Amino acid sequence: MWTTTKRVITGGAKNFVRSGAVSFATVLIMTVTLIIVGSLIFLSAILTNTLASLQDKVDVNVYFVTDADERDIIAIQDRLETLPEVSSVSYTSREERLEEFRTRYENDQLTLQALDELGNNPLGAALSIKAKDPSQYAGIVEFLSDDPSISPEGGPIIDSINYFQNKAVIDRLTSAINATEKAGLAIVILFAVASTIIALATVRLAIYTARDEIAVMRLVGANNAYIRGPFIVAGVLSGLVAAIIALILFYPATWYAGNALEAWLGGFNLFSYYLANFAMIFGILAGTGILVGALASWLAVRRYLRV
């Protein structure tokens, strides 16, 4: 078994080297294919980072009446933090809200003058709630509205919840996330199929040039697996070499794009992402190249040479 395996691997390596121009064309086609696959990885990372940034800016604020006891508000905060849907809850006191209001309208003297004439702080404390997923805000608001333990003995202390003002934004963000995930999966499948077809056509040419060699091997009694083996090994080598070339090309490309687009992408640097996830990217590209090369070789031998 080891001798046969060694011969198959050696024969595949020799076929890869001897094929010259055909091997070069195969590697070139597969390199382009893997660059497309790698570009999809980077595009997915950019979209994920963008959506995460947008998601982080979306929250639901719960405003309390001005005479609400701080202990009751903290108790509600503790209850919210135990919900599996909640990512974080931050408390803003009445004084902090008043200071934020004055800072926001520091250039609007008429508003500040009207505030001073009131003589007291008209703003209640607030809780800012961030959900783990935008689709979970509705459940959190329903919890606040329906749970009787939220209201202390003195009566309801929640003045308003701004969920319905933000609902349109939250719904659009949820739809964007779902659409991006579905579109990304469809694009990956499309390019995977297209890559296999293109590689199949190229590998078919390489196998066609060896048709006489295959005929001789069959005449001397070689079995199908032994005949297919070297071509599959050559396809694997083509995919591996293409993956290495694609990774080398991505180094300067991501460096340039990272510096040029970092500010536009909200601080996301493609080059830093490439370095931090090099092992993952290498695994995906090498695995894709090896799989496509081996599959294309196997199909080409089986279908076109009827071995």
Contacts of 244 (CB under 8 A, 6+ apart): 286
User: Dihedrals φ, ψ of 59, to 5°?
Assistant: -150, 175
Average pLDDT per consecutive 10 residues, the chain (307 residues; last block may be shorter): 65 66 78 84 82 75 86 87 88 88 82 78 88 83 72 69 72 72 75 71 69 68 68 82 92 88 80 92 90 79 58
CA distance 39 to 181: 16
Task: Look up residue 60 and give its DSSP letter.
Answer: E
Residues of the chain within CATH 3.30.70.3040 domain(s) are 66-156
- Work out whether the CA dihedral 76, 80, 81, 86 comes out positive or negative: negative
Residue 3: per-residue pLDDT: 65
Residue 248: per-residue pLDDT: 94
CATH entry, 66-156, from 2.60.40.290, 3.90.1150.10, 2.40.10.10, 3.30.70.3040: 3.30.70.3040
CA distance 196 to 200: 6
